[in-house]
Chains A and B, each alone.
Chain A
Amino acid sequence: MIKIKSLNLKGLRGVKLNFPIELDEKSILFYGDSGVGKSSISDAFEWFYYDKIKHLSGEEISRNGLLEALRNISLSDDKKSMVTIKFSNPIFDSDKIISLKRGSLASEYSNKSTDFEEFLNASQKENFILHYEDLVKFILAPKKNKLEELSDIIGFSEVTKIRNILKKISNELEREIRSKNFENLINTHQSNLIEYFGENILSDKQFINSVNELIKPLNISIELASFSEIDNVLNLIKTPDDSKNIELQSFYVKIHNFSTNLLDYLNEISKLYKAYYDQYQKIIGDLEKINKIMLEKLLSEGYGVLINNIFTEEKCPLCLQPKDRAKLLKELEIRINELKKYKSEKVELEESRESLKKILTNLYHQLKLLLSDDNFKSDDNKILKEKAEVLIKNFDNYFLELDIDIYKAKKLKKVNDLAIDVNILNQMIKFCKMKNEQLKLSKKNDLRFEAHSKIKLSTIAYSEIKKLEREKEALNNQMLSMKLLYSEFVKRQQERLTSFLSIFSKDINDLYQFMNPDEKVDEIEFIPLEKDDELTGLTIQFQFFKNNVKPPHKYLSESHLNCLGIAFFLTSVRAFNKQIGFLIIDDVISSFDTNHRIRFADLLIEKFSDYQIVLLTHEKNWFEYVNNLVKNKNWKVNSIKWDEDRGTHIKEPSKNLKERIENKIKLSNESGLGNDIRKYLEYLLKQIALNIRVKVDFRFNDKNEDRMSYELLTCLISELGKKHCEDLKNNHTIERLLASSFIGTKNSHDSAFVPSMGDFKAFWKDVEELEGLFYCTSCNRYVSMKYYDEVEKIIRCSCNKKTYKWEK
């Protein structure tokens, strides 16, 4: 797993100059008071990886606003802000830079390699930064969001996508079957067959027998053996005069069948339109919803333009401003995802519309086909044609309403204003019946004609039935397969999720128990919730005083909820982070009680030693506790400070302070020089006191850090006297320093003394001489009790070049 070698922030958030941290893949504990800019570190990581910062996002902060917020406010326009991260694998090393380009802020990575891009994309799926405000976010999230979030983390969002497609296809096939109204159509044709043959025809054999019965009285020398021979029989019995009559009968039967079928559909059509109307009106009644739907459409179009390479320049295709294409795609993905819920309402509306449109289109095409029949041109059928044309208008009215763009937010016509006229249909049915009767009467007692017309019309009806049954069977077969596949898929998904949740729950429970031993909470479990075989959410259940209860926030204190949040975060890290081997934990223990703070620290050190941890805190006592805990564990420990010159910075090691002092003296720069020398002297005296064991009064930790030079020098002189160190006890340098105007109590820093450069140089010379007395430049060690010579009674440095008489 990838770890961090070093990090540097420059002109970013609170950091004005540089914030370099050499980590060498080690964990680090940072202490810093509130307001010194500790979060600059977690912000830098969050921005580097996710290109956003949660607490700097929202309606009032645009993307450019984020860059403005990230860039240190005091930076001049020509300066760049950046974060530089070097990793255990150097091929991923990169800067992420904010600079001003053509008047607006832009950001980019210095590493343009595909390896880095893939690393970044994979890392974005991992969760490795924990802020206080995120601790209980998941625990308190609604059940549906919990399921979505966890599904996303375990890569089940793609699974859900596929499942939704399978379901959609199953439903579509079901709708298709319903829209075709097979049963009604088949029944109508069966009615025709009963009329012609006097019985139901359910097989070819029955059909053949019935035909043979009809032709028997005609005494023709042929018998129908199979359905495919029907044309031979028809050709044999037809007479030229019969054709027109039979054609007209067939025409009226078709119109009659269509009208009967449409009549059966009317209720279904009205019901579907009413449902569509209600959904539509609900959406257009909410202006904000409409705007969000429109925005989603625009963004999705833009995304399509980019992803399909319709626009390939490194610009925004809308405003033509320069833009990193990959970054733009990612931003669009995020924004489209945020608008998902609005889109889903629109998708539901579209599905309703499509269901209705499918039925209407099907019927409309049937009617149009009938209207193309030449028999409509005849004066006899003028009335029929007029009525059919009214129906066409009825259909058109429906289509007009269904084609209204929701973005126009125009009101739809109500269902009663669109309804297809039942009277027209009944009149058409009556008209066709009457015409058919007339046609039959005109050939009454003509056996040959009667047989011919019945066989011809029944052949049409029977063929239609067979066609409809084939179509119905094919659709049913497909629907059945899709439904079986869908239910098998759901079963597998649920099995996997349940097995995952059981392992995940056990891990969370173990971590929670570690932080809360011997308490009355146990067996924490993530339980999937289902409705109609669908996963609808997740809830967290646990045993509380031996009873199963939920949800956690109903029973647990803030500290316990925080523990649960931490357990969830750390379990997720273990379960899902495949690439990132470090954790950034930013000031998360603020509302923990003392016991939980201690247990949390123990948990991190004991159970997560494989990870590189960047631990930030402003809690002094907790810092001290962790500091003790990580001694000899190869951790780094540092403090974060803030001042006006540098902004957020790391407490400087004294060596650098020395270089700065020397540099200021060289450049005659008096600014802050006195304070710097005083700080160095304090540091030096602490080192000397530590090494030769100068006794000072006991003080608590933070006060101990605050000791001033005057106190330390006085104690040093006293110690030199006690140990009869003749070489040093009356040393002029030490006496000069004690009497120096620069030295005094803490308050004397603000005295009226205004030193010149000469005063600074003299003061620094004394400090250097003091250092020379106790620090050996040959072995780079202080004179120390560690090297005390019991025989010679001398105190010395490691290499023995610097020695003083010393009585114990």
Chain B
Amino acid sequence: MGKEIISGKELLDNFFNEIENMPKIDKKIASILKNLYLNNKFTDRNISNALLELRKEIGNDQD
């Protein structure tokens, strides 16, 4: 039975491996989340800060 069960870690790895190709998902956001996960820095604070930076970048690009 053990072999047939996907562990929590496998589920997470698969999800973050596929995240950049998921439809309707902003590629930059997907990339940010994937990197934070791979670097063991997937915390709400890190994500919030990264998203804020991304919004600033978009704002600066259009000014």
Contacts and interface: CB of A to CB of B under 8 A. Distances in A.
Q: Do A and B come from one complex?
A: yes
Interface string B1-43: 1101111110110110001001011100110010001000011
Interface string A488-502: 110011001000100
Contact of B11 (A159, A481, A482, A504): A159
B26 A169 contact: no
A670 interface: no
A336 to B, nearest CB: 17
A665 to B, nearest CB: 57
Contacts of B43: 165
B8 A156 contact: yes
B22 A488 contact: yes
Contacts of B25: 481, 484-485
Interface of A: 154-159, 162, 165, 168-169, 172-173, 467, 470-471, 474-475, 477-478, 480-482, 484-485, 488-489, 492-493, 496, 500, 503-504, 507, 571, 574-576, 578
B55 A169 contact: no
B9 to A, nearest CB: 6
A481 B9 CA distance: 23
Interface residues of B, number: 32
Given A168-B44, A492-B15, A155 B9 contact: yes
B24 to A, nearest CB: 6
B30 to A, nearest CB: 8
Contact of A169 (B37, B48, B59): B48
B14 to A, nearest CB: 8
B7 A470 contact: no
Contacts of B26: 477-478, 481
B9 A478 contact: no
A492 B17 CA distance: 14
A492 B4 contact: no
Contact of B12 (A159, A470, A480, A578): A159
B47 A169 contact: yes
Contacts of B42: 162, 165
Contacts of B54: 474, 478
B51 A154 contact: no
Contacts of A168: 44
Given A158-B12, A165-B47, A485 B19 contact: yes
A576 B15 CA distance: 22
Contacts of A467: 59
B57 to A, nearest CB: 9
A169 B11 contact: no
Given A492-B15, A507-B1, A485 B51 contact: no
Contacts of A488: 15, 22
Contact of B62 (A156, A470, A576): A470
A172 B44 CA distance: 10
B25 to A, nearest CB: 5
Given A574-B1, A575-B1, 4 more contacts: A168-B44, A478-B51, A481-B24, A507-B1
B5 to A, nearest CB: 5
Residue of B5, B25, B59 contacting most chain A CB atoms (<10 Å): B5
A158 B42 CA distance: 11
Given A158-B12, A165-B43, A168-B44, A578 B2 contact: yes
Contacts of A477: 26
Contacts of B7: 154-155
A467 B58 CA distance: 11
B22 A484 contact: yes
B28 to A, nearest CB: 9
Given A165-B42, A470-B58, A485-B33, A157 B8 contact: yes
A496 B11 contact: yes
B8 A485 contact: no
Given A470-B62, A481-B26, A169 B51 contact: yes
Contacts of A571: 1
A474 B58 contact: yes
15 contacts: A156-B8, A158-B9, A169-B48, A173-B51, A470-B59, A474-B55, A474-B59, A478-B26, A481-B25, A482-B29, A489-B15, A492-B11, A492-B15, A500-B5, A504-B1
